[in-house]
Amino acid sequence: MILIHYGEIGIKGKNRAVFENCLVRNIKKALGNEIEKIYREYGRILVKEGERANYEMLKEKLAKIPGIENFSFAYEVDLDIEEMKKIAMEIAKNEKFSTFKISARRSNKEFPYSSMQINEIVGEEIKEKLNKKVKLENPELTIFIEVGNKKAYVYKEKYSGIGGLPVGSQGKVVALLSGGIDSPVAAWLMIKRGCSVVFIHFYNESLVSSPKKVEEIIEKLTEYQLSSKAYFIPFGTLQYEIIKNVQSKYRMIIYRRVMTKIANEIASMEKAKAVVTGDSIGQVASQTLENIHCIYDASDLPVLSPLIGMDKREIIDMAKKIGTYEISIKPYDDCCSFMVAKHPATKASLDKIKEMEKKIIFGIEEIIEKARTKQYSK
C-alpha cells in the first residue's frame, strides 16, 4: 500500500475536494499501470500498487508530483492492536538499530486506543522482545502507525515529495524558455505551484536547425508536469530586423519586448493568465531594474519571475536538483551574436526604447503562424 500525504491542499477549505481530485488524477496519470486502486481518505491518498510493482520506479515518479508532501510504502492491517504489534515487530526484526520509537496517529477516533496508548503498547512489545531502547529524539528507527477509518497503516520510512500544489489547480501560464539555466528553473517553480505551463521558445532558424536541447529540457520538465505543450518560433528574420534598425546596446531590450508581445498573444490564444521569465535582478544587463521596467512594460498580462530574488548559485543548485542543469550547459546558439552587445545599456529609458521600436515592423500573427507546436506527455 502506498500512503500519500499532501501539505497545503489539506487546508484549502471548500476547495479541498477540487485540489484532492486534481492530485488523484495526476497520480493516476503518472503511475498508470503500476497501480490497481486509488482512493482518498481524510488527509491522505491511498494507492494499492500492482502485484509486480517496481518500488524504485514508483519512488522516482512520486517524488516528482507537485502537491505531494511525503509518501510511504506501508503494510495495511486490520483495526486491531494485536495486528499492529505483529507487523511492527516484523519490520523491527529486519532492521539493525538499538534505539527506536513508535509514532502513532489516529484520525479514526472510534479506535479504542489513543495515539499515546498505541505508542506505549507497541513500543513495549519491541522493547521487551527485541531488547531495544526507546528514544524519542533522533531514534535510529521510527515505526509509524496511522489508524484510518477501515484499516491501519504501518511503515518505517517517509520519502519526501516536492511539496507545492497539484498541477492544473492554479490555471495556465506561458513560460519564455531559453536554452539557458535559469528559465527552466523558473518554469519548474510555476509547475510546482500548481500552474499548467505552456512553453515558448524563440530561435534563430539560420543558426539552429532544430531546437533539440530545448526539447530535451521540456521533456525533463514534463516528468513533473506530466503533459506539456510548446511553441517553437523561428525568429531569425526579426532578429536581423532588430540588428538593422537598433543600436547594439538597446537590441536585447527590444528583442525581449518583441518576445514578450508575442508571448502575450499566445497566452490569449491559450487562455493563459501570465507570462513567466527566468529573470533575476541584476544578473545580466537586461535584468537591471530599469531594463526590467522597459521589458515588462510590453506585457499586458502580469510577468512573473520566480527567480527574481535568487542568486545564480541557488538557481544552479535547484537546476541540478530538478535535472535540467546538465541539459542547459550543453552548447546552443539560439541567438545571433550581434544581438548581444559588448556594452549593453543598463539604464534604458522607456520613452527612448518605444521610439526606437517604431522602426521594427512585424506582424505578430504572421510570426505565430510560422510557429511549430508540439505536445509532450509522460
Residue 286 DSSP symbol: G
For residue 120, the minimal CB distance to ligand ATP (Å) is: 55
Strand partners, 76: 153
366 vs 358: CA distance, rounded Å: 18
How many residues bind to ligand ATP according to rule CB under 6 A? 20
Site string for Mg ion, 257-286 (x = CB under 5 A): ------------------------------
Q: Minimal CA–CA distance to 253: which of 335, 346, 187?
A: 346
Closest distance of CB 362 from Mg ion, Å:
22
Residue 334 contact partner, candidates ligand ATP, Mg ion, none, CB within 5 to 8 A by sort of partner = ligand ATP
| DSSP-derived secondary structure letter, 302 | P
Please spell the DSSP secondary structure of 99-165, one letter per residue: EEEEEEEES-TTSSS-HHHHHHHHHHHHHHHHT-EE-SSS-SEEEEEEE-SS-EEEES--EE---S-
Q: Which is nearer to ligand ATP, 163 or 236 (CB)?
A: 236
Q: Does 306 engage in binding with Mg ion (CB under 5 A)? A: no
201 binds ligand ATP (CB under 6 A): yes
- Could you tell me which residues come within 8 angstroms of residue 125 by beta carbon, excluding any fewer than 6 positions away? 85, 88, 89
Please, what is the minimum distance in Å from the beta carbon of residue 215 to Mg ion? Answer: 17
Binding mask 243-262 for ligand ATP (x = CB under 6 A): -------------x--x---
Q: Per-residue x/- marks for Mg ion, 168-187, CB under 5 A?
A: ----------x-x-------
SS3 268: helix
Q: The cell 536541447 sits on which residue?
A: 213
Given the rule CB under 6 A, which of 2-10, 14-22, 119-127, 272-280 is the region that contacts ligand ATP? 272-280
Q: 88 or 319: whose CB is closer to ligand ATP? A: 319
Could you say whether residue 178 binds ligand ATP (CB under 6 A)? Answer: yes
What distance separates the 2 farthest-apart alpha carbons in the chain?
85
Chain contacts with ligand ATP (rule: CB under 6 A): 176-178, 180-183, 200-203, 256, 259, 277-279, 283-284, 286, 334
Chain contacts with Mg ion (rule: CB under 5 A): 178, 180
